[in-house]
């Protein structure tokens, strides 16, 4: 970023007062603030790089110590910046884009997290797609770009290990699973820490989600605080025992082509919370009676029940889970399990049907905005939603589906998608 641009941006911030700004003015302030922050993040990368160079010759402390001791950062924050600098040094176009406010530090952090476990040939294959990755980062949110980077890294590992790499990672996670229990000496509260692999975690939370569904039904309109309800669900799930009324299910999402042929350009192979799973593990899990493979329409269940029921049934919740990882608001990352199923055309006010075409998952906060906060929400048959502020201005319009298979870059005419070309990029 040019120094003059930074100076103007900083002067603009100093001349504003966010406490008297309206919505559009706040958006302008935040965009200006992003320019300043990106400049500082890019400057921090340069300082970190220089500290690393000096430390290599014994002339300075390591970058993490510099950032912690003089930058007021925690050890974890300093380590994140050090990893960010590593990626920036390997993909210089991202550092330039950071300084120009085209991408954020979070985009570099997504690349750092995705590449941390790759060996040198795998890392070289990942970085071979720097231009495509940068094009994607310019248009994607950090959350979406994180998923894309993770998907590219998974395909590279699969290509270089004949598909065994992701299964080995799951085995490693299982070996590191752990349970800790202790008492906080100050509060007297009992703490339990579970460190679980994705499959074990899905098993635990499927049981908890089953109890949450029962508690929600019993709660009615009492609106028990969500945190209290989660605690009650955990306790109930642990104490349910073999005589529980409902057997917990794990829903695993995968497209047919992936199950048959393995990972490909548009693969989906993950838990309902978006955690990737090895294809080999999913194939095995599909034989388990408690696993629900989400291949829509495969078991012929009726999904549209009209106004015969007000509450979405289990089949409908499965279908919605297959489309939505999170709350349907474009800026929200609250997981599907913590959401209520909302009638876009209200059941009681608009006589809206309890049909898939009229249902969306919304977290407590955004559900409240629609029902009590005066926000408008409409949705087209192809699930494009428009959110309208109470003053009538449009906040956003876009698809609500965040799990549709897609490549990291739109293929150009006559060229394959990025992920289709990944195996060919691996060193021989």
Give 289-305 as a DSSP string.
TTEEE--TTTT------
d(CA 424, CA 407): 16
Q: What mean pLDDT value characterizes the chain? A: 80
d(CA 321, CA 391): 32
Instruction: Collect all residues with Cβ–Cβ distance below 8 Å to 94 and sequence separation of at least 6.
Output: 87, 88, 103, 107, 108, 111, 130, 133, 134, 137
Higher pLDDT, 258 or 22: 22
Higher pLDDT, 384 or 242: 384
d(CA 107, CA 115): 13
Range in 4-8, 240-244, 405-409, 416-420 the model is least confident about = 416-420
**Average pLDDT score over residue span 254-268:** 71
The pLDDT of residue 39 is 92
d(CA 158, CA 298): 28
- Tokens standing for residue 214: 């029962």
β-bridge partners, 341? 361
- Tokens standing for residue 41: 């993040």
Contact at 8 Å (CB) between 409 and 417? Answer: yes
Contact at 8 Å (CB) between 97 and 140? Answer: no
What is the side-by-side order of every strand in the sheet holding 250-254? 269-271, 250-254, 291-293
Instruction: Collect all residues with Cβ–Cβ distance below 8 Å to 124 and sequence separation of at least 6.
Output: 427
Q: 3-class SS at 413?
A: coil
d(CA 123, CA 116): 9
**Average pLDDT score over residue span 260-281:** 73
The pLDDT of residue 421 is 41
pLDDT tens sequence across 206-229? 888 888 888 877 776 667 787 888
Between the alpha carbon of residue 210 and those of residues 43, 216, 233, 273, the distances in Å are 49, 10, 8, 15
Residue 225 CB-half CA count within 13 A: 3
Q: 3-class SS at 131?
A: helix
Range in 104-108, 164-168, 296-300, 343-347 the model is least confident about = 296-300
Torsion angle of the four alpha carbons 262, 268, 274, 275, in this order, in degrees rounded to the nearest 10: 0
Which helix (H) or strand (E) segment holds residue 116: the answer is: none
Which is it for the CA torsion 345, 346, 350, 354, positive or negative? positive
- Tokens standing for residue 414: 């006559």
pLDDT tens sequence across 352-379? 888 889 999 998 889 888 887 889 999 9
**For the chain, which residues make up each domain, given as ranges?**
3-116, 326-401
The pLDDT of residue 361 is 92
Q: Taking the complete model, does pTM exceed 0.75, yes or no? A: no
**Average pLDDT score over residue span 103-111:** 95
């Amino acid at each position: 970023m040019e120094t003059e641009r930074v100076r103007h941006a900083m002067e603009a911030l100093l001349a504003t007062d966010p406490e008297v700004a309206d919505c559009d003015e706040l958006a302008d302030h935040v965009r200006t603030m992003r320019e300043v922050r990106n400049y500082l993040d890019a400057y921090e990368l340069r300082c970190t790089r220089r500290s690393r160079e000096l430390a290599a010759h014994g002339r300075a402390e390591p970058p993490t110590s510099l950032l912690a001791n003089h930058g007021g950062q925690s050890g974890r924050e300093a380590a994140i910046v050090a990893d960010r600098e590593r990626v920036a040094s390997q993909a210089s176009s991202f550092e330039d884009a950071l300084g120009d406010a085209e991408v954020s530090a979070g985009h570099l952090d997504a690349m750092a997290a995705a590449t941390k476990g790759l060996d040198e040939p795998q890392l070289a294959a990942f970085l071979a797609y720097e231009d495509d990755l940068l094009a994607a980062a310019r248009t994607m949110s950090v959350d979406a770009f994180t998923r894309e980077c993770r998907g590219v890294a998974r395909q590279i590992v699969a290509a270089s290990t004949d598909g065994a790499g992701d299964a080995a990672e799951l085995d490693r996670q299982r070996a590191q699973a752990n349970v800790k229990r202790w008492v906080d000496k100050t509060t007297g509260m009992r703490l339990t820490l579970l460190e679980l692999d994705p499959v074990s975690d899905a098993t635990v939370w499927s049981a908890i989600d089953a109890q949450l569904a029962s508690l929600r039904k019993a709660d009615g309109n009492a609106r028990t605080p969500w945190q209290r309800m989660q605690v009650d669900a955990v306790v109930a799930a642990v104490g349910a025992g073999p005589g529980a009324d409902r057997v917990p299910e794990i829903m695993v999402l995968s497209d047919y082509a992936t199950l048959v042929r393995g990972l490909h350009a548009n693969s989906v192979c993950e838990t309902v919370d978006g955690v990737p799973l090895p294809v080999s593990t999913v194939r095995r899990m599909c034989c388990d009676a408690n696993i629900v493979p989400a291949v829509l329409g495969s078991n012929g269940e009726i999904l549209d029940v009209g106004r015969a029921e007000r509450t979405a049934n289990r089949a409908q919740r499965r279908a919605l889970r297959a489309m939505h990882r999170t709350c349907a608001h474009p800026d929200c990352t609250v997981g599907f399990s913590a959401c209520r199923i909302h009638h876009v055309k209200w059941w009681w006010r608009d006589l809206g049907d309890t049909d898939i075409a009229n249902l969306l998952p919304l977290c407590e906060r955004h559900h409240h905005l629609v029902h009590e906060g005066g926000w408008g929400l409409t949705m087209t048959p192809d699930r494009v939603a428009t959110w309208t502020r109470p003053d009538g201005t449009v906040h956003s319009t876009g698809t609500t589906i965040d799990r549709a298979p897609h490549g990291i870059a739109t293929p150009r005419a006559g060229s394959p998608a990025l992920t289709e070309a990944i195996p060919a990029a691996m060193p021989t």
